[in-house]
Each structure stands twice: as structure tokens, then as C-alpha cells.
Amino acid sequence: MDKNAAAIADLTHFLGSEAVAVGTDAAKWSQDWTGNYRWTPLCVARPANTQGVAAVLRIASAHGLPIVPVSGNTGLSGGTVAEGAIMLSVDRMNHIREIRRDSRIMVVEAGVILSEIHVAAEAEGLVFPLTFGARGSARIGGCLATNAGGSNVLRYGNVRALCLGIEVVLPSGDVLDLMSAVHKDNSGYDLRDLFIGAEGTLGVITAAVLRLFPRPRAYATAMVAAAHMGDGLRILNRLQEQTGGMVEAFEYMPRHYVETHLKYDAAAREPFGDPHDINLLVELGATSPDDAEPGRDGVIPVVRRLEDILGDLMEQGLVLDATLARSEAQRSEMWARREAAAELTVTQPHVVINDIALPLERVPEFLDRAIPALREIDPCVRDFVVSHLGDGNVHYNIWPSTDDAAQHERLREKIEDLVAEMRGSFSAEHGIGTSRIGSMIRRKDPVALQTMRAIRRAIDPSGLMNPGKTIPE
């Protein structure tokens, strides 16, 4: 029996045949969400608990086979490519173990879907603020593995800031218990943050202690048209100053984005009566009853405050137009426009997904300079932009005119040139995966790469954990 067959036999013996998918049964794990990456795994192991994960890693190590962890498989960077590898799915590890309402924490297994965490938190009058368009299928293990961001980073931070503790199974099969619920722990290296964002290259996150927050009693949401891109930061700062930091989201959608949404979504509507080039989605969240309870006139104070601030900004010429959500249905419509971004990005036959971060004041300059620079390489290239403008994260996706992979990499490198010049990052929240390995080689500090490789060798000396991802060999 060859090692592949022996490994499958061992996995089946330990987990049971219903927990090991092979052949056509593994088909749904054989490509990423975008369809840009396809592969044929050796098998898909689906353990139901931490001990099962440990067994899978020990079996993979014993047979010298690569192992690729997978959660919801909603990533955009090719982080789950698994040709000939054992895929380890955490989809059966989907229990919320505990909610401590007064301490505002939730203990979850890695396979819990993000939207289910939202529902459970809201039932306790709390919120887990990590949110993005794929929340109905993304699982928290993948969110942690990529240090996911989303629309509320401005107020709450990336998932690293939302996690107090984790449980990790190391490549050896040993279980690393970091499931602390304390807010301060100064006892040596911060191993938790080492594994969060490591994309499964150091081990498999199997559980986590998540931070919860008071659920806003009311939201004030509006679409805002700005006069100039450079006015965005001034609008944001004014909102923060006059609301005491209530801004939860500050999202940018250019005119081309709105037009694409109108084209591909039959239910979509224009955000304003007249079209505008710079469209912002603004949301405030109020937790105080004084800001959230309707007055005698039926108006919610936080909504009135947003309306008054936007009115002042219109008088000053910073805001051209504004539409406030007067109902939950109108708020949902505004968010549906923004959260369609991933689906809209892949409507063209060729797409290069870029997920960059810039100093806030440099975002307008980047957007002005990027497309002229790219058209020196591909005169017909188009960009498709959407941005978490409040934290400087720009999803600068481009649609090249051909499927020439070498040209795509040159285009990506040109974007990196501008980002590096502006002291930004070529990767903000999607992770490195496979697609940004070239960027890591070109742009990451060599000493940082050397240090990362040393850490990886120390924890996974055989190099079997998610090989070919995140850290260039």
C-alpha cells in the first residue's frame, strides 16, 4: 500500500468513513470561491473535535503528507490550494461552547459560521463586530487565520483585537492551550497573535475566546456624496469629533462601482437623485439610551445628530448630497450595495485582486496616480475600487485586457511600487495565500522574511503545514 492509500486508511480508521471525503465527494473542496484556483486534494478530513484534528496532523506527519486547513473557503488569495494534499476542514467543529454575558466573551469552535456568532451575541444584547459580505458562509477559524478585517475595523479593530485567546493544534499533534479570557497577559511572547494571521502555516486554530461589545441600540446610516476625494478624511474627522467616536463604518464607492452594481443587480437603485463620483456609506452606532430612544417627534437622536452634522458639512461645501436611512429596510439597501463588492469584482473574465492599506491622507493620491501608471503596461486596463476608507484599506481590483499571467504580475508590481512609495502595505485583510507570494518576495523586508522562515522551521520542521502559502520558500 502506498503512503497516500495508507494515510487515507488511517484517517478513515480514526475518524470514520463519513468524516473522510475522497474522489467526487471532495469536489466542493476542490476550488476557491473565485474559481481562480482549482486543485484535486488527496482527501478531505473532517474531524469533529480538537482530538480529531490532532490525530489528522499526526497521521499527515507520519506519512510525510502536506496538510491544508480550510474553514468556509471564502478567501480571495488562494490560501486553500491543496493539490495532492490532505485538506482538514473544521466545518463539523461548529459549536458555540459558552457565552459569558457580563464578561462579554464568547467561546467558539473554529467551524462556527460568522453570522451564527452574530445571532448568538445579539440574543444577549451584545455584538461581535467583525462583519463583511461573506459572513453567511465564512467560519471564524478562517477569519482568525487571515486576521480578517471588514467594515467595522474603524471602531473595533481587526480580528486580532477581537480575540482574547485561542486553541491551536501544532504540526506535531500537540495541543497549545491559549484559551485565556484575561485582557492582560505579559508572560513572554504573544503566541496568540503569532498564530492569528498565519494562514494555517504554523498550526490549526480549533477554538477561540472572542470579545463581545454592547450592541448599538440604534444606528444612523447615510449615503453621502463628497465634493472631492480629499474631503473624505475631513468628513470622517468631523463625524468622529462631534459624535464622540460613534463612527462604525466609513466606506467609499466610486461612480463606476455604483454603475456596476446597477447593471448586475436588478433590485439596485441609485443612491441619490443625481449621480456623483464620490459616494460614501457612513454609519454611526449609539449604545446610550439618550442617543437611541426616539423623542416625542419620533426621531432618534443619533439620526438627528448625523443629519445636523451632514447639513453643516453641506453648507461648508464638503458634502454635495446626503440620503439618510429612515428605516431598517433603507439601511439594508445601503449595505447591500456595499456588500456586493466581491460578487461584482469577479463579473469580468480577468481580474487581479489587490488588497492594500495606505496612510489615510495618501488614499486620494494613490487613486489619482494608479490607473495612469497601470495603463503604461496595459492601455486598456480598468480598475474596480471599493474601500474601507476610514482605516485606509483600499480594495484596488483591476480588470486587465488579457489573461496574460506575466502581465498581471507586472500590473500588481506597479501597484506595489506606488504603495511602497506611500509607506503602505500590499496586504491589508485578505491574507497572502498563494496570490501574493511574489509580493512577499519583492516587498517584505528580508530580515522579516528570514525571521518568519526561522519561526516556521522551528514549529513545522517538515514544512507540511499549508506549503507554498504566506511565506516564500
pLDDT tens digits in sequence order for the chain, 473 residues long: 688 999 999 999 999 999 999 999 999 999 998 888 999 999 999 999 999 999 999 999 999 999 999 999 999 899 999 999 999 999 999 999 999 999 999 999 999 999 999 999 999 999 999 999 899 999 999 999 999 999 999 999 999 999 999 999 999 999 999 999 999 999 999 999 999 999 999 999 999 999 999 999 999 999 999 999 999 999 999 999 999 999 999 999 999 999 999 999 999 999 999 999 999 999 999 999 999 998 888 889 999 999 999 999 999 999 999 999 999 999 999 999 999 999 999 999 899 999 999 999 999 999 999 999 999 999 999 999 999 999 999 999 999 999 999 999 999 999 999 999 999 999 999 999 999 999 999 999 999 999 999 999 999 999 999 999 999 98
Q: What is d(CA 313, CA 311) in angstroms, rounded to the nearest whole number?
A: 5
Q: What is d(CA 107, CA 114) in angstroms, rounded to the nearest whole number?
A: 13
Give the model's pLDDT for residue 1: 65
Helix (H) or strand (E) holding 451: helix 446-459
- The four Cα atoms 158, 161, 164, 166 give a dihedral, to 10 degrees, of 30
Q: What is d(CA 321, CA 62) in angstroms, rounded to the nearest whole number?
A: 64
pTM of the model: 0.94
Measured at the CA of 136, the angle between CA 12 and CA 240, to 5 degrees, comes to: 135
Burial 106-125 (b: 16+ CB within 10 A, else e): bbbbbbbbbebbbebbeeee
Say how many C-beta atoms besides its own lie within 10 A of residue 243's C-beta: 18
Beta partners for 38? 31
- DSSP state letter for 465: B
CB 127 within 8 A of CB 219: no
Give the model's pLDDT for residue 409: 95
Name the amino acid, one letter, at 213.
Answer: F
Give the model's pLDDT for residue 35: 83
In order of 230, 357, 419, 436, the CA distances from 366 in angstroms are 11, 11, 8, 20
Burial 21-38 (b: 16+ CB within 10 A, else e): beeeebeebbbbbbebbe
Query: 5: which residues sit within 8 A by CB, 6+ positions away?
Result: none
Give the model's pLDDT for residue 31: 93
Domains of the chain plus CATH, in order, are 3-92 (3.30.43.10), 96-214 (3.30.465.10), 218-338 (3.30.70.2190), 348-433 (3.30.70.2740)
Query: 362: which residues sit within 8 A by CB, 6+ positions away?
Result: 392, 422, 423, 424
* The three grid cell numbers given for residue 141, joined into one nine-digit string: 477559524
127 backbone dihedrals φ, ψ, rounded to 5°: -145, 140
Cα 280 to chain centroid distance, Å, stands at: 20
Residue reference for cell 525571521: 451
End-to-end CA distance of the chain: 31
Residue closest to 73 by CA, chosen among 60, 61, 82: 82
Say how many C-beta atoms besides its own lie within 10 A of residue 240's C-beta: 17
Residue reference for cell 462601482: 257
